[in-house]
Structure 1
Amino acid sequence: MYQFDKIKLVVWDLDETFWKGTFSEGDIEVPNQNRRLIALLTDIGIVNSICSKNDEKQVMDYLKDQGLAEYFVFPSINWSPKGARIKQLISDMQFRPANVLFLDDNPSNLAEASYSCPEIMTGTPALLPQLLADAEKADHKDPEHKRLQQYRILEEKHQVRAEFSSNEEFLYKSNIRVDISTDCDANVDRIHDLILRSNQLNFTKVRSTKEELSDLFADPNVSCGYISVRDNFGNYGIVGFYAVKSNRLLHFVFSCRTLGMGIEQYIYNKLGRPELTIAGEVISDLSATEIPGWINQKTVDSSFSQMKIKKLDAHVVLVKGPCDLFQVYPYIANTELFDTEFTHTTEDGLVIESTGHTTHIVEALRLSKAQKQMVVDEVPFAHLDMYCDNIYRRDYKVVFLSILADCNLGVYRRKQTGEQLAFLEYIHPITDPSNWPGLISGEYPTSNFHFTEDILRKFSEKYEFIGRNTPEQIVANLDFIWKHLPKNCVLTIMLGGELYYEKNAFEAYMDRHLVHKKVNDAIRSWAGSQENVRLIDVNKYLVDQNSFYDHFNHYIKPVYYALASEMVEIVNEITGSQIKETSKAKMLFIRVKELLAPTYYKLRGVLKK
């Protein structure tokens, strides 16, 4: 459904849509209203791209001659089907399909796009007058076309990335430069916007007002600084901010525009690794104590390369779950070929951490569209993202799932009709009035949702708490999922850690190692008699307390490297791909370390003492 206020990207078909006529037949003309429309969209901060079946060079030459090429980024112009191309384009540009409008005169192309990206908005040329009218009424908030320039930089970066054999080599060649500045008052607007909007790389989640920030800047006991980044592809501007008092971080936040560049690790180590209490989920690991060598480097060293999966088609592997699965990504090259469904934040700031919960994966297929919409309409903290069903609809060869969410989240059932959803830690049921003060005040985790007593009361009238999933229920859910996967798809399950974490400070995790043991045993028993089910057991690499970083579910780097190795081996076996080892000495070292893991970790602990 068309919603102008949600549009961030417009993807254009060309023949009989952007211009009148068919390019291959000659005699085409771009209507003046379309020329005006792309200029207006750019002025208001909406980006334009192309997905068309034509000859790329001929079309781009024509657009350059017409003075129109400058308005488009990431053009996809070839003769292959549009559905997969649009999905890849949206992924490359780092948008959500719900913020994309695809315009095409061919209904079959629109249907194909909707199948590949269920949330995408689509329209025929008949929608253009309405789009123009809405654009004319909107504020011209980007007259300097800064947003377009950001995506021009991202486009160039994406083009060059393919020339390198690993992400790390790419980072070394990017010539990344990071500056720390302290004149924060002069940039309070940008800093305030950053801490307000960022969630995935906002480690403290403190949403200070501008007035509170100004007071912070003026406090002589607080050290504040903002981070600017530039590289060979352009200037990213202000992308981070920190505030330190008495060696404790009050703010530590970064823009997702620099995700994967290691900026947050660099700054954290430059600050001397001050005390940091991480609020909620973040998609970055600060456990590495070394400063990333590719930032502000004096010389280039690209001797180390990631494990690489070769000959892998896009969209045959799905990785679905919480941050434990995300942590292996730095060690695998070409992960852009994987489909991923991780914990994420919606536009409204709601953290969706149940995407990998087996109850939601089952409900995604069991419930009708109407049932899902009913739950979303009557539960303000529910979202359709919770019921993503790509796992069943796509022709995946390998699916990776984690059981961590099942062992953490509480499950609720609609009293009258039985629909289920998982939300927040099981230890504080939201249908129990004794927990309401803690949920309303934010004392308990809320996934960034702001509860009121009215919301809690209405939810409790319709839904009942049925507890955390038992081992038997998790196995039943996994069996349902396995039976409904595409034919010959291999279901790979990441088991939970069974080693007690002595430094645990969270009530919900006090017995988590015991819960994981029971769940793991049940899954091992079930998986032993099933075809096309694999297990990845982190417990092979958890030897002692030195295996942990800062949380029961967070481990040191060698553990994640070992898990990545297992994932790569499974993908290579099932898909027929092969790993390229560009640094054999490094890989041999890691392999030996894996085989001798107990000795390695114990010796590491002795040396630390």
Structure 2
Amino acid sequence: MTEAVRLVIWDLDETFWKGTITEGGVQEDSHFGHIVEALAKRGIISSICSKNDFDRAREVLERMGVWQYFVFPSINWEPKGARIAHIVEQVQLRAPTILFIDDNPMNLEEAKFVVPGLQVADETIIPTMLDNPLFAGKDDPSMKRLADYRLLETKSEAQEAIGGDTHAFLRDSRIRVELEYDIEKHIDRVIELINRTNQLNFTKIRLPDDQEAARAEVRAMTEGYDCHTGLVRVRDRFGDYGYVGFFLQRKGAGYNTLQHFCFSCRTLGMSVETWIYRQLGRPELTVQGEVISDIFDESNPCDWISYYQEGQDDAQAEIAGEGGILLCGGCDLEAVAHYVQPVTRNFRLFANTIRHGGEIRRDHSTIVACSAAPLPQGVSDCLEQSGYTQDDLSLDYASGAYSLVVFSFWGDLYYRTYRQYGGDAVLTYTPSNLGYNDVLSFYEPDLRGRGVPDSGIAAFRYAKANLIHNGPSDEKLFLGNLRRILSAIPPTTQIVLLAATERQLEPAILQRHRTFNGWLEAAWREFDNVAVLPIETFIEDDAEQVTSTHFTRPVYQRLAARLKSYYREIERQAAQTTMTAETTETVAAE
């Protein structure tokens, strides 16, 4: 075994348990369910490929209390090779990150032949798995990763049942792609895409924070004779997304690789990245870290995208209103921004960014609240030492410049918070895509191994020395932050709080989402200018919910349509109020 394991596919008889269902029965008190559960808490998923009767095997696993820990189980009498290939396709993982365990050597050889790169082992590996560094995974005590895969399983089943409604929507969107090869003309946008994208950045090779140094590095890396670079511009019938992607391809005799391949969340769910990857000839690509799109999924037709040709029926611009709109959130509102932006002359999107080799969660309530009033110097210093800048801490929602402000505080659902030792600062801190883990439990070599630059190491050292783990946001912290934010916004500004989904979730995650939504409802009752908008309102089918916080493109488009309608009503009422006031002044003057 050579690569960290992300999925284990288990045989059942004489492997997961002692005995066989059809010959003598199973010793139900002798099985490895505790290992499957422990792996799930490390973010490592388990599936099944067994030659057995499905209903009988499920009954045994349910009695053992472990059925819920398996996804995409394949239990029938067909040959295992093709079934394992289908599991690999369903989970959307690379074969070298998957381990198949079986007591039959012939089954192992068949699996290796049908699925090149698949790791295999016999049952003797099982007792040592939890001590093997290739099964270290990532701390996931709430088993969120398992929940996401169960959701993917449900989505896969639903997609087969509904017959591709999402694809019909995308085909109707008339998505057009244009490639811009003048990198020098748009060099700052290239830098921004490389350094600030994360969830659709497949390579995660960052540039220096110093702008001039970054420009020099871009120029140097695009000079090679074998270097093919381009910016990706996307349009559809709703409008122009601008330059949302960048690639740097090196291609010559015997090689075809991608050095950079990154996209903005503006086009999340449109499969632009998959289409571009195929247009480039499916070059070799080593995906770094977690991404939320599987460009290797050959079942994705991507037939709704074509190259842009000048003179096509471009989207018509909407008449822009006078009042401003502010969207503050994560990739959910980034996906919505394109649809909403044309309706106002004053639009701002305040979303997360990448800095010092890590994610800066600007959508978390602890950070958004910092803009409500001037910060004490000690708090400001702590935040800046932890990687934040004044731009992160000076969002102008209190300025009165906006008629509509939309907040998505979903970062508070899972990300940990930290309290300044001996000080008043409270913040979220997420270096190097460590996700929802307590980052203070890691050490400097862990971060250097993830490619964190010296500037990120400096921030991590400060955090280790000066921050105390505070856990995810609780009611007191979140509502305190929310009240500070909402109280600073003029009462004439209308505010929308985006509620989290309560659909198709595991019990622990469902409870967290319900609790979070309850906090939003408390704010709605307290502030007259606040409305709570559940994301579920815009989900028409389970297949449209990809994970607990990510959705297919139609969901974002429906949400945007509601926000635009709400904004238009705000504008209409404002105009009516102005007209009434002017009439009153005229009558008074007469």
User: TM-score if structure 2 supplies the norm length?
Assistant: 0.50
User: TM-score if structure 1 supplies the norm length?
Assistant: 0.48
